[in-house]
Amino acid sequence: MSEYMKRFNPECDPVTSDEFIIIYKNIRFSVLTPYLIRVETDDKNQFCNEPSQSVLNRNFDKPFFKFDAFGDSVTIKTEKTEIRYSTSQNKLISVTLDDGRTVKDFSKGNLKGTCRTLDNVNGKTSLEDGIVSKNGVAVLNDSKTLLLGKDGKIKQRNKHTTDIYLFCYGFNYREAVRDLFFLTGKPPLIPRFALGNWWSRYKAYTQKEYTELMERFIEEKIPVTVATIDMDWHWVDVVKRFGIDALDDKHKNSIYELFYNTVFPGWTGYSWNTDLFPDHKAFLNWLNDNGFKVTMNLHPASGCKFYEDAYEDFCEFMGIDKSSRKQIKFDITDEKFIEGYFRFLHHPHEDEGVAFWWIDWQQGKNSAIEGLDPLWALNHYHSIDISRNGKRPLILSRFAGAGSHRYPLGFSGDTVQTWESLDFQPYFTSTASNIGYSWWSHDIGGHCRGYRDDELYLRWVQYGVFSPINRLHSTSNEFMGKEPWMYNSFVEKNASDFLRLRHRLIPYLYSMNRLTAEKGKCLVEPMYYSNPRDSRAYECPNEFWFGTEMIVCPITEKADEKTGLASTKAYLPSGRYTDIFTGLIYNGNTLTELCRDQSSIPVLAKEGAIIPLSIDDGTNSIRNPEELEILISRGNNSFTLYEDDGKSLDYLNGKYTETDYCVAKDCKDISFTISKAKGDLSLIPKKRSYTLSFIDISDCEDVCVIVDGKAAEYKYFKSKGKLTVKLESIPVSSSVKVLIVNYKARTNPDKKFLTTQIISKMKGSNDKKAAKFTSFVKNNSFTLIPKNIKKPLCELEELYY
């Protein structure tokens, strides 16, 4: 192996200690945790101790277990599970879980994981299995993955072997995902800028047009942190410009390659189109100087052709006669090609200001090594290469199987612009947590085909703000842009406000980013993660936990024409929940319908929620903020704000800070404490101002603020049913306690008022409304109430039961 290729060896610990291994006949059992057991079969007892494409670590803790064998029957019993295996059938017979269930049918109950792409999907599509199951047992089959040898080479497994991992976690879904991350490798901490708003569009912008577009976002005070430049950054019409020799030599990989190389011969490119970008260096400098991190589209399947700027140097490196104009073929299995691929085709662009690459691989799964999917190889090599100088691994690419969470971010592909596609995405995103794939990035607003619908665009943006990555995108159709000002004035204002909110959420999102990387907790989780034994938690596929503090219920259907309201089904676990937009308060332990007009979607802060936000200063700054607003719901809870430099790997060496927040209540008072910041304080401002918004407290008798044991100045005011306390310029090395004395809890508005408001907004004859609804407002009788108004009125019943 060349010295260059050694850098692509992943950190791993693939060998299980002998004391946790049993070899019986031609089967090897490895007890990894009390819930996780590996089962291998090999006719020659040549078992695998090398890392695979999916699995890197097999040296876990030291679980206690007992092993018994009688004839062809094997039993392994840990503190949490018991498995029975037939050696004659090479088959798992049963698993008995710690909750008493015995599972014999392992084909049922899997809660699914994710899939490679949503390209051209209109609505639903099938998903691969995940590692959590309603029946308590899921199987991760690693038999067909390739191995990563000690020399860094990718190689085949032994023939006629099987290699499976039994996830016997019962209802402990979060623990299963946490151990999956250890088994397959933790996801990296993604850069802070990736959590803001992205602009992306498949369009042949000129340098002037793109710059003016970004200037418009600046003028509108809509913060954008990532500027995506699609494929027209490089030469595309290559036959017209460079002649017939610009076509590929052969078309042999797949029908996809034949299609793209014939219809789009310039699909691959590495040289700037100087007709569109006459001074690309100045262009990249301007974007970076104005806070836009740059990613560019990459279709690498055609290698490097004679007209590329890097062709001569790449030829010399590969030992190819440059005068031959011979195409340098893409071969992701060739070590020399891989080195040249990065050195000549990518590093120069990164030196000029490209932050990371959007790897838009669409050319099939074949390569020179049987079983090696080029998509996986590109994800693996690019993620490691981009971090070579201390940067964090980051790409944008499609899912390539279990373990792909090591290579964020996920590009879900070219979705169709319809309500059906929007309706599938929340379920698709949260369900991906079942295979640990936590950072999906969708084409927010839809990519292609479909139809124009301003309401659809708005609902998609509202969902995007509460999805892992918020990347606006569309195809090259001139009339499908996703700029907010391309829509009616109501939608423009609302979408713009939501995009500003996304930027304000970065402190919260970045703290959740840390939980994903270190604790194995995905940002977006299905509702059944918190309440796996409650059947109602499985009935709302589009609802999800957004971090630790909020439940989000996207609206994915068109509003009723008469009421102006759309609904979504929601499961609320036990507790109290406050909508951060409407202020409505819901009691949990219920399955209900939530209705909203186009101005918002249900986003429910849990009891005791602590949600740190930056202050909207009208810029796209991603610095650790000098001023925070913290949304606080009364209850008992704690939250840790995590901060570092947002871009480097220094956090692995302890260069980060943590600030603990805590809310506590008794029958009369609420206290909120801000602890002294811990860690490397040079990373954050020396002083911070706070706006503490107690979203479900309407009034109080008094407010007391203590900083480092002494009374401190503050301001407080009441507005729209919430209490706000403002603290100015507090040293981050100080401890703060805010006491809300004899508080008055916020309550929902008068039921009659809300009922009248809903009915008043209905379109239709005033006389008919009066005839139908006057008695209802007075007597709450649902007799003869039209179907389209029953859902919002039933929601009111939930508010007051």
Interatomic CA distance for residues 434 and 436, integer angstroms? 6
Q: Which residues contact 332 (CB under 8 A, 6 or more apart)?
A: 338, 341, 367, 372, 374, 377, 378, 381
CA distance 293 to 745: 44
Give CA separation, 224 vs 69, 277, 527, in Å.
62, 21, 30
CA dihedral over 623, 624, 628, 633, signed as positive or negative: positive
Do 657 and 679 touch, CB atoms closer than 8 A?
yes
pLDDT confidence of residue 254: 62
- On average, the pLDDT of the chain sits at 95
Nearest to 737 by CA among 729, 749, 725, 746: 725
pLDDT at 673 over 90: yes
CA distance 121 to 421: 7
Q: pLDDT tens digits for 292-323?
A: 999 999 999 999 999 999 999 999 999 999 99
Q: Residue 471 forms beta bridges with which residues?
A: 198, 443
Query: What sign has the CA pseudo-torsion 370, 376, 379, 380?
Result: negative
Torsion of CA 784, 789, 793, 798, to 10 degrees: 110
Residues 239-290: tens digit of each pLDDT:
999 998 888 775 545 666 666 667 778 999 999 999 999 999 999 999 999 9
Distance of CA 96 to the CA centre of its chain: 34
pLDDT attached to residue 55: 98
pLDDT above 70 (res 782): no
Which CATH number does the domain 623-745 belong to among 2.60.40.1180, 3.30.160.20, 2.40.70.10, 1.10.150.120?
Answer: 2.60.40.1180
The ranges assigned to domains in the chain are 3-101+136-184, 194-503, 623-745
pLDDT of residue 260: 64
Q: What pLDDT was estimated at residue 594?
A: 97
Range 229-242 average pLDDT:
95
How much is the pLDDT for 797?
Answer: 82
pLDDT per residue over 322-377, tens digit each?
A: 999 999 999 999 999 999 999 999 999 999 999 999 999 988 899 999 999 999 99
Cβ–Cβ under 8 Å, residues 438 and 524: yes
Coil, strand or helix: which one is 198?
Answer: strand
> Which amino acid would we find at residue 280?
H
pLDDT attached to residue 799:
84
Q: Are 155 and 411 in contact (CB under 8 A)?
A: no
pLDDT in tens, 51-91: 999 999 999 989 999 999 988 999 999 999 999 999 989 89
What does the pLDDT read at residue 623? 98
Helix spans in 110-206 (H): 173-184
Q: Are 627 and 689 in contact (CB under 8 A)?
A: yes
Q: How far is CA 686 from the centre of its chain?
A: 32
**Torsion, Cα of 303, 308, 310, 316 (10° steps):** 70
Q: What is the CATH number of domain 194-503?
A: 3.20.20.80
| Alpha-carbon distance values, 782 to 561, 567, 578, 594 (Å) | 21, 19, 27, 18
Mean pLDDT of 570-596: 97
When pLDDT is averaged across residues 425-452 and rounded to a whole number, the result is 97
Q: Which residue has the higher pLDDT, 617 or 503?
A: 503
Predicted local distance difference test score (pLDDT) of residue 781 = 60
Inform me whether the pLDDT recorded for 149 exceeds 90. Answer: no
Strands 687-694 and 722-731 turn out to be antiparallel
Q: What is residue 153's predicted lDDT score, i.e. its pLDDT?
A: 81
Whether 623-745 and 194-503 are alike in CATH topology: the answer is no
How many residues does this entry show for the chain? 801
Please choose, from the candidates 416, 440, 532, the residue with its C-alpha nearest in 3D space to the C-alpha of residue 173: 532
**Comparing 758 with 768, which gets the higher pLDDT?**
758
Identify any residues that bridge with 640 across adjacent strands, giving them in sequence order: 660
Mean pLDDT over 133-157 rounds to 92
- Strand (E) positions, 354-489? 354-359, 395-397, 410-411, 440-444, 469-472
pLDDT of residue 796: 86
pTM: 0.96
pLDDT tens digits for 159-191?
889 999 999 999 999 999 999 999 999 999 999
Find the helix or strand (DSSP H, E) in which 473 lies: none
